Amino acid sequence: MASELSANIERATRAWLEEAVIGLNLCPFARREYEGGRVRFVVCEDAKTEEMLLNFAAELERLERDPSIETTLLIFAQGLDDFYDFLDLLEMAHGWLNDQSLEGVYQLASFHPRYQFEGTSKNDPSNYTNRSPWPIIHLLREASVEGAVAAHPDTAQIPERNVAMAREKGDEFWRELLTRIRQ
């Protein structure tokens, strides 16, 4: 049974996915998988890096065993408040994929409450395209991503459109959205 903390974090993450990612169409591929019940939400309450990586490895194994799960959002409850600590964990997760010969089978996307793209200021609203209520490593099946990209009329426009929309909405809009969702 999930703890109250895990339940609250999953609820907030679902709200973020529904309102921001799907609702604002940040990812045009998310709605189908979410509404089809093929998105797995996993909250890791461990604060130690080794345990976080073991949770990551367990989710990869689950994806390998269960083709009904299209994608997993591995959400970290604690220990990754610092964005650079999160990036270190993400690098280790990429290393794990490589070590297990799963690079090209799965890909990772990353989201964090303090996400900052290289070359942007921390206050640039474009960073909100990858900001989430909690640190998240998103595990995706590479073949599914390739299929979705091939079926989309112009995937190159997605990031550009998202950045323009994020900047148009502005920092205050995004801060209020994430604050409300986390409550």
Q: Could you report the per-residue pLDDT of 39-97, keeping only the tens digit for each?
A: 999 999 999 999 999 999 999 999 999 999 999 999 999 999 999 999 999 999 999 99
pLDDT at 100 over 90: yes
Q: Residues 6 or more apart from 163 whose CB is under 8 A from it?
A: 126, 129
Q: Nearest-CA neighbor of 76 among 106, 42, 50?
A: 42
Q: pLDDT value at position 54?
A: 97
Domain count, the chain: 1
**How many Cα neighbours within 13 Å face the side chain of 95?**
7
**Which pLDDT band holds residue 147 (cuts at 50, 70, 90)?**
confident
pLDDT at 137 over 70: yes
pTM of the model: 0.95
Structural domain that includes position 142: 4-182
Q: pLDDT value at position 1?
A: 58
Q: How far apart are CA 6 and CA 43, in angstroms?
A: 6
**Which pLDDT band holds residue 154 (cuts at 50, 70, 90)?**
confident
CA 126, distance to chain mean position in Å, is 16
The mean pLDDT value of the chain amounts to: 95
**Which pLDDT band holds residue 148 (cuts at 50, 70, 90)?**
confident
- What value does the CA radius of gyration of the chain take, rounded to a whole number of Å? 16
Categorise residue 42: left if φ over 0, alpha if ψ from -120 to 50, beta otherwise: beta
